Amino acid sequence: MQILKNNIFAGITAAVVALPLALAFGVASGAGAIAGLYGAIILGFFAALFGGTSTQISGPTGPMTVVTATAIATFPNDLSTVMTVIFLSGLIQISFGLVGIGKWIKYIPYPVISGFMSGVGVIIVILQINPFLGVESYSSVIYTITQLFDTIKHADDHALIIAYITLAIMFLTPKIITKYIPSALIALFVVTHFTIYMGYDVDTIGSIPVGLPEFNLPFSFDLLELSNIITLAITLALLGSIDSLLTSLVADSMTKTKHNPKKELIGQGIGNSICAFFGAIPGAGATMRTVININSGGTSKVSGMVHSITLLIIILFLAPLASQIPLAVLSGILIKVGFDILDYKFLRIMNKVSRQDLLIMTTVFLLTVFVDLIMAVGVGITIASILAVYQISRNTRIKTRRAKSSFDIDITNNNIEVIKIDGSLFFGTASVLDNKLDKITENKIVILDCKNVSFLDISAIFTIEDMIDKLSAKNIKTLLVLKHAHKRNILAVDTDNSFKKHKMFFHMDDAINYTQELELKINV
């Protein structure tokens, strides 16, 4: 019973924290404050029910809000198409879970994640400049920056006062207070009442419908827009999956448990898909809300579901009060959120990391802010992969030496040459081997020693095959020394029996002994 009470209390606490953020993210997305609340309720409930992280609290997040805002800007006044994007993103997340793609998220390099998260933080801060100044906001980062001087000229003094007070509360509230009452909630109530008391005429959230959301089918869209719809859906699915699984790892470290990535992605996908039927914005596992849930005593899925039920009760009974919240208050809250998202851990050591890591982080950061989020992640992973291949290829040693037996006795025949390979032999190092073998012209026998090769891919196998053919054309015989596993892999793709025509050994001594037998036959 005590455990149940703890989970109920933790869920209510998480809802209190989620309320201002859900409202803020809803407004920032362009779908409206109520869409943010519906997203927190629907995703929060179903992700908790079907997900694989017991203590995770899900709802609208910074990265997901940014992409949703992009979708709304791409399809203006076409909410049905936007909801189709969200629905498809949920289905894609479910497919990610079914095929077990979640286990690969941990292989994304840290500089990619760092650049992406810092980029999202900067996007949120920049896009909140206009609401902060009491001016109509834009969905484009670049346009917001280029119009900044003109925007400042039209700033509303009352909105600025409200926004500055909000920022002060967000940044300066002592931790002893925020431990019990989130600073965002304090700002929401205090500054809203201050605005009403002062009679400031500023933009507010506006009318919020009371009651349950309406059910709508999100399948009306123009086929000519299918490419944009799928691209945005994949972007949402990828970002939602990465965001959720990273939060799951945080929850694991705090609770000393292990989440189920398959179930987590399926749960997130179900939640986001259902959001599309009720005009809600999508989301993911929310790190801050999850941490607060755990610290408040949350240990099971009950806390996540209670969090959603609490938000639903707030909508049903307190919606009229929420409609009076100034947009400048939400901008101040989101600016603090944007600064919190910045990866200070990496920023503090930027001057100490390698140039390669700095290049990846900076590239991803700039692409995230000024180009496209999914392109940023894709380019970052590609650059990191190329650099990793380069480093591995540098560690692969390909040396030429005279043949020796295991007893370190030189073989006097100068027509025998051994090429020894240590490390990985794959597409990144196959060309080095190609160049090495291409220089051999005078020897009659070449022993290719692959015994210390840890990895052999299809590119290297085909390179070896091509070089054996080239050496045969020069009347040079090639012998292979390799592991059992590598021999099986080679013979499995040897459809034209090219390798079967040549001798393959498991030990160097056997290959050397064979060369001596060849010499005896030739001399006889």
How confident is the model over 483-500, as pLDDT tens digits?
888 888 888 777 777 777
Q: What is the DSSP letter of 211?
A: S
Which carries the bigger pLDDT value, residue 522 or residue 432? 432
Q: What residue segments make up the domains of the chain, in order of their start?
A: 2-344, 397-523
pLDDT of res. 342: 86
Q: What is the DSSP letter of 410?
A: B
What mean pLDDT comes out for the span 81-103? Answer: 90
Which carries the bigger pLDDT value, residue 501 or residue 21? 21
Q: Write out pLDDT tens, residues 431-470.
A: 666 666 666 666 677 788 878 777 777 877 877 777 777 7
Which carries the bigger pLDDT value, residue 194 or residue 505? 194
Residue percentage of the chain with pLDDT more than 70: 88
CA pair distance 511, 356, nearest whole angstrom = 42
Query: Which has the closest alpha carbon to 289: 6, 16, 9, 7?
Result: 16
| Among the ranges given (310-314, 396-400, 401-405, 467-471), the one the predictor scored with the smallest mean pLDDT | 401-405
Tally Cβ neighbours within 10 Å of residue 513: 13
At the second CATH level, the architecture of 397-523 is 2-Layer Sandwich (3.30)
Place of tokens 């809203």: 192
Q: Please, what is the Cα angle at 409 between 403 and 412, to 5 degrees?
A: 60
pLDDT of res. 284: 93
| Among the ranges given (93-102, 218-227, 446-455), the one the predictor scored with the smallest mean pLDDT | 218-227
pLDDT of res. 274: 94
Dihedral sign for Cα 70, 72, 74, 76, please.
negative
Query: Which has the closest alpha carbon to 343: 117, 125, 61, 120?
Result: 117
Q: Is the pLDDT of residue 168 over 90?
A: yes
What mean pLDDT comes out for the span 371-375? Answer: 76
H or E element in which residue 455 lies: strand 445-456
Mean pLDDT of the chain: 82
